[in-house]
Amino acid sequence: MKRRTAIKNLAVGTGGVIALANQGCSTDNPTEKQPVIEATTLKGNINHSVCRWCYSGMPLEELIDASKDMGIQSIEITKPEEWEIIVKKGLTVGMGTADFISLTDGMNNPKNHAKVLDPYFKLIEKAESMGIKNIICFSGNRNGLDDKTGLENCAVGLDKIVKHAEKHNVMIAMELLNSKVNHKGYQCDKTPWGVELVEKIGSPNFKLLYDIYHMQVMEGDVIATIKKYQDYICHYHTAGVPGRNEIDATQELNYPAIIKAIADTGYKGFLGQEFIPTWDDKMAALKHGVMTCDI
């Protein structure tokens, strides 16, 4: 082949490769050019859930129906008054909550212990009657408390609650949240602190809700942390970092690898999508998150 002919053929070939590459890759902002998510059968390795508050502008029944259509099995961070319709329509609640449960004024404040005891007892009993296995709790903000005192206060306040949960086969889960960006002053903001609290309480019915977004912000090393502390974790939440938005190409975490690491631990609980959608089509955003995590 003559040199001129070879160069000409190479140019055509290269152009073809570039054209093909450009068809499958765009530098456009994903929030401006959103992918079309076709209906796809889930693989069955992950139990998918969605957090209600991220779609608070959508009627609950509409969210339930859309979630069922994409294979989601749970609508979580929901309250007792919402549980009836969720269960009636064939889904469950991966993590329950209630109005009396405060994120900022939590179990590290001894003044709260007596006033939340009876409400927690009733919530646990309601959860058992509805087949709901997990109820959330929070440490609360530090407000000047050192970590040791805050941990001791949480252990004292949760003692009777967790013992009641044991009787009713319900898990009490304390959520790990970041105090750097979203929840300034929150005390349970590092995995080792939460693990120490789990060990101190010493019950199979008290573990951690590991929020992948929050812990990436606070400490990183997500996969290694999950592997190390898998026995202390009963639930997981997702969101893109930074921004707490879609799990797409704009964020830094490799979610398929993270979810595979979770599945490899033998985890059989729910994976809760808790990102704040920015796409015009919020259900397409949710479907995209579910499919990204469906390893």
The span from the first CA to the last CA of the chain, in angstroms, equals: 48
Is 37 among the domain residues?
no
**Predicted local confidence at residue 40, as pLDDT:** 64
Average pLDDT of span 114-132: 98
130 pLDDT higher than 90: yes
193-242 pLDDT per residue, tens? 999 999 999 999 999 999 999 999 999 999 999 999 999 999 999 999 99
33 pLDDT higher than 90: no
**Predicted local confidence at residue 31, as pLDDT:** 43
Rounded alpha-carbon distances, angstroms, from residue 260 to 18, 233, 263, 292: 32, 16, 5, 11
- Choice between 74 and 28, residue whose per-residue pLDDT is larger: 74
143 pLDDT higher than 60: yes
Contact status, residue 52 vs residue 75, Cβ threshold 8 Å:
yes
Is 181 among the domain residues?
yes
Rounded (5°) CA angle 273-179-72: 5
Is 218 among the domain residues?
yes
**Domain CATH number, residue 235:** 3.20.20.150
51-79 pLDDT per residue, tens? 999 999 999 999 999 999 999 999 999 99
Domain assignment of residue 81, given as a range = 45-293
Domain count along the chain: 1
Question: Is the pTM here over 0.85, yes or no?
Answer: yes
255 pLDDT higher than 80: yes
**54, 94, 101, 97: which is closest to 79 by C-alpha?**
97
Is 10 among the domain residues?
no
Is 89 among the domain residues?
yes
147-171 pLDDT per residue, tens? 999 999 999 999 999 999 999 999 9
**Predicted local confidence at residue 41, as pLDDT:** 85
Contact status, residue 178 vs residue 214, Cβ threshold 8 Å:
yes
- Choice between 28 and 151, residue whose per-residue pLDDT is larger: 151
Is 4 among the domain residues?
no
Cis-peptide into 242, omega within 30 deg:
yes
Rounded alpha-carbon distances, angstroms, from residue 275 to 42, 49, 244: 20, 12, 5
Is 25 among the domain residues?
no
Is 194 among the domain residues?
yes
Strands 134-137 and 171-175: parallel
pLDDT, the chain, mean = 90
14-27 pLDDT per residue, tens? 333 323 233 333 33
29 pLDDT higher than 50: no
5 pLDDT higher than 50: no
